Structure 1
Amino acid sequence: MKNNQNSQVIIANVNKGMVYMLLAVLILPFTDALGKYLSTSLSPTQIVFLRYFLQFIFLLPFFIFSKKRIETFKIVYLYLGVCVSISIILLFWGLKYLPLANSTALFFAEPLFLTILSIVFLNEKITRNHLIALFLGLVGTLIIIRPNFSLYGIASFLPIGSAFFYALYLIFIRISTDLGSKISVQFYNSIVASIFIFIFLIVGQIYDIDVMMFKSIDSSLYILIFCLGFLAVIVQLLISSAFYHAKASSLASFQYLEIISATFLGWLIFNNTPDELTILGAIIVICSGIYLARHENKSSKAISLN
């Protein structure tokens, strides 16, 4: 009887995690769409700075008035803040040139980078399933790059760079044994990212680097910037809650649903639709990621049974 109750609690938690992750990946393209729209007037670095500064403002009341113990600053927060800020800068920089769905499809290389980095830094054993997933993911990514590179040039590699740094961000989370509460992580991320990106803006202003400059902001953009910061906080808290309730292997496949809202928003707002090769490559990358996630899930179950 007790085992049945425990199983029901575990299933309920996993279901909660899946719901949180589903909401997060469906909302996330809205932040990308806002970033892409703002990139017509502001620099990518400036947009990311405003995003994280607003995240800091929104999370400050939670940090001050939270009844739970607030963590002191840890060095790992520095690594997390730097990695995630570089990732978002590259993503928004790419969105300045690439259609929303194309950029999202290229970012799907992240699970492949995560697998490679896990093998290198965490000494995880590479298996036949890993090799199959990596090969399929590489083929799919190359298929996506081919038409995008001919149309958008070197900008096609920016979402891939973003995926790499986000995978590195996740590796630091995996390595760390005591990160603290999700509010603490996101709050310190916002502080580190704001300071780090502000230094980039100073350098960009001094050396007149367009993608790193702080440009004047038209008052009509204020509400969009506010929405970007607010939605970013919601997405991060949803993702953190999802991983609190369920394992990464159970949630990995859900991120690919992001392509649905990304494609819809790209068509609705920017009149962009992905070409056939981009769709084919995205399907292959998605299949490789789902294959890898299912393998990891089965491995985790086998270990828990033993």
Structure 2
Amino acid sequence: MPAASSHLPETRRSRLIAIGLICGAMLFFALLDASAKWLSAHMDPLQTVFVRYAGSMVLVLVLLNPWSRPGVLRTKRPVLQGVRSLLLLGSTVLNFIAIKYLQLAETVSIMFAGPLLVALVAGPLLGEWPGPRRMAAIAVGFLGVLVITRPGFGGMHPAAILSVFGCICYSFYVLATRQLAAHDPPETTMVYSGVAGTLVMLPVIPFVWSMPQTPLAWAILLGTGLLGGFGHWLLILAHRLAPATVLAPFIYSQIVWMIVLGWFVFGQFPDGWTFAGATIVISSGLYLLYRERVRKLPETAARID
């Protein structure tokens, strides 16, 4: 008992640090999206995608390279690594194009449907079939996406469709990441993401590149790589200190940053439909997390006993 008691403060401290790291990562990702939206008025979004991945690749290889981390490039599932990297790249491309026309809060609200889609397709792909309560939460969550996009009612720019497809790509990327976690360390996966994204986008650059005209444009463009790289690095550090079930609810803090940045940088504030839909989607996602913790609780209690 004394040993267990002394261990509790350390565990709580680690979890608090992890929560701070995950919230910091969400801030970096919100700043990345805001930067991409600002840059879309000055250059092709594909140019921003390339610099985001190239800058991130340089940063990651400085921190994680074969000399400082021997074996970091060694993967047991090279095909899955490639597919996962392409899914992440596809999600980024679709998001950066959509964000040119949509508000920041609108795109992130649609992306928050990702956990719902992951829970839905994890059944046939991973054998993790959702029960009736989780299925109901998934259905309600997708209803929230319809409230945000309002298809057929002219309430949102058609670019919302790109956000929906970006969410689909991101969901399958999450599933691929979960499968890779059993074979490769997260550092290896992070390196492959940056390298693959850069190499795939490289042939596109000659057709879309335009020279930034101001020092501010250069700074924001180069900053996208740092924001993306540091954001993913903070995610890795956070998940080393606390389980995903503890950290997952704090991912939704990103919408706060997106609303604030959208308001102060672009003078855009979400309408009532976006707030209502986002509330539905986030509530459904949180309920799924709750059901996941309830489902695992008996197993945890058994291990403690």
The reply to whether TM is greater than 0.5 is yes
Aligned twin of 2:135: 131
- 1:56 maps to amino acid: M
Q: Distance in 2 between matches of 1:129 and 1:241?
A: 33
1:87-126 alignment to 2 at 5 Å?
Answer: 87-126=91-130
Aligned twin of 1:299: 295
The change in CA–CA distance for 1:118 and 1:245 in structure 2 (over 3 A counts) is: farther
TM-score, normalised via structure 1 length: 0.89
Identity among equivalent pairs (%): 24
Contact 1:70 1:181 in 2 (8 A): no
Contact 2:101 2:157 in 1 (8 A): no
The change in CA–CA distance for 1:199 and 1:125 in structure 2 (over 3 A counts) is: same
1:254-293 alignment to 2 at 5 Å?
Answer: 254-293=250-289
Aligned twin of 1:79: 83
Contact 1:71 1:181 in 2 (8 A): no
Q: Does 1:215 align with 2:210?
A: yes
Q: Does 1:178 align with 2:183?
A: yes
String of CA shifts for 1:75-119, please: whole Å, max 9, x gaps.
132122111111111111110100111111111111111111212
Structure 1 position 3, deviation (Å): 3.2
Structure 1 position 66, deviation (Å): 6.0
The change in CA–CA distance for 1:64 and 1:124 in structure 2 (over 3 A counts) is: closer
Contact 1:144 1:277 in 2 (8 A): yes
- 2:138 maps to amino acid: L
Match 1:240 to one of 236, 239, 245: 236
Contact 1:141 1:285 in 2 (8 A): yes
Q: Distance in 2 between matches of 1:133 and 1:185?
A: 31
Gaps of 5+ in 1: 206-212
Q: Distance in 1 between matches of 2:69 and 2:202?
A: 30
Q: Distance in 2 between matches of 1:266 and 1:147?
A: 23
String of CA shifts for 1:226-271, please: whole Å, max 9, x gaps.
2211111111111122222222222221111111110111011111
Question: What is the CA RMSD across the aligned residues, in angstroms?
Answer: 2.1
Q: Distance in 2 between matches of 1:275 and 1:61?
A: 43
Gaps of 5+ in 2: none
Aligned twin of 1:208: none
Contact 1:55 1:187 in 2 (8 A): no
| Counterpart secondary structure, 2:157 | helix
- 2:224 maps to amino acid: L
String of CA shifts for 1:107-153, please: whole Å, max 9, x gaps.
11111111112122111022122112101101111100117972543
Q: Distance in 2 between matches of 1:157 and 1:121?
A: 25
Q: Distance in 1 between matches of 2:152 and 2:92?
A: 20
TM-score, normalised via structure 2 length: 0.90
- 1:194 maps to amino acid: T
Structure 1 position 178, deviation (Å): 2.2
Structure 1 position 201, deviation (Å): 4.4
Structure 1 position 9, deviation (Å): 4.2
Q: Distance in 1 between matches of 2:152 and 2:183?
A: 41
Aligned residues: 296
